[in-house]
Amino acid sequence: MELSNEPTFDAPIPGQSLTGEVGSKPWEQPPKLNTVDEVISSYIPMFQDEEFVTELVNQMEAGIPIIPIVDILIKSNVMDGEHSLDVGLLAAPVIIELLINVAEASDIEYDVGNKTKGTTKPSMSAIALALKDINIPDEEEDTEDTMVTEVEEPPMEQSMGLMAKRGEEYGV
């Protein structure tokens, strides 16, 4: 994915969320699931969906730790008004364990993401980021070259007329 340096104007204006009517957003409504048991039993059927599991396995295989994945899952459900953030947080360890089960069942290497790494081996995502950084200077150099060739000094025009500075008219 190529990131452009141009500013995007599609982003919400600061304070835009406060302009809507109160209760119009799903997360402003009372949550549908209130207990940890209910929340866990709502997550379990997700792991029976083949498409969802394949996507999860791909992400874990790519080197994405399990905890950020769980974080996204919980936050998206909070946004949908399924449960509150605190109940989601309580259910998080169970979802992590379920994801570990999925990873082990599909025989892939996974990272839970709960330990600070003391090893020198970088993760796949870190390698991908480093490669991306290496490619950026080449592009920048190219753009700089083109910028240098394109910029030309405009010819000095002698201003004439009533609005011209004094002395300029006569080349002083």
Partner 1 sequence: MSKHIIKMYNKLDADINKAPSTKSMKSSGLIPQRKEPDEESNIVHYVKQIRKMRESNNGTK
DSSP helix/strand/coil, 47 = helix
The reply on whether position 53 binds partner 1 by CB under 8 A is no
Nearer to partner 1, 75 or 132 (CB): 75
Judged by CB under 8 A, the residue of 25, 75, 117, 132 near partner 1 is: 75
Nearest distance in Å: CB 47, partner 1: 11
- Give the angle subtended at the CA of 130 by the CAs of 126 and 131, to the nearest 5°: 120
List 42, 46, 81, 90, residue binding partner 1 (CB under 8 A): 90
Taking the C-alpha atoms of residue 53 and residue 153, their distance in angstroms, rounded to an integer, is: 60
Closest CB 40 distance from partner 1, rounded Å: 6
4 versus 114: smaller Cβ distance to partner 1 = 114
Binding track, positions 96-125, relative to partner 1; x by CB under 8 A: xxx-xx--xx------xxx-----------
- Please identify which residue in 60, 70, 83, 110 interacts with partner 1, judged by CB under 8 A: 70
Tell me the closest approach of the beta carbon of residue 58 to partner 1, in angstroms: 20
Helices 36-43 and 85-105: crossing angle, nearest 10°?
Answer: 40
User: Do residues 84 and 78 lie in contact, with contact meaning Cβ atoms separated by under 8 Å?
Assistant: yes
Nearer to partner 1, 126 or 164 (CB): 126
Cα–Cα distance, 103 to 22 (Å, whole number): 41
In the region spanning residues 1 to 40, those forming contacts with partner 1, defined by CB under 8 A, are 35-37, 40
Residue 54 binds partner 1, judged by CB under 8 A: no
Query: Whole-number minimum distance, CB 59 to partner 1, in Å?
Result: 15
**H or E stretch including 97?**
helix 85-105
Which has the closest alpha carbon to 39: 85, 3, 99, 79? 85
Residue 31, Cα to own-chain centre: how many angstroms? Answer: 26
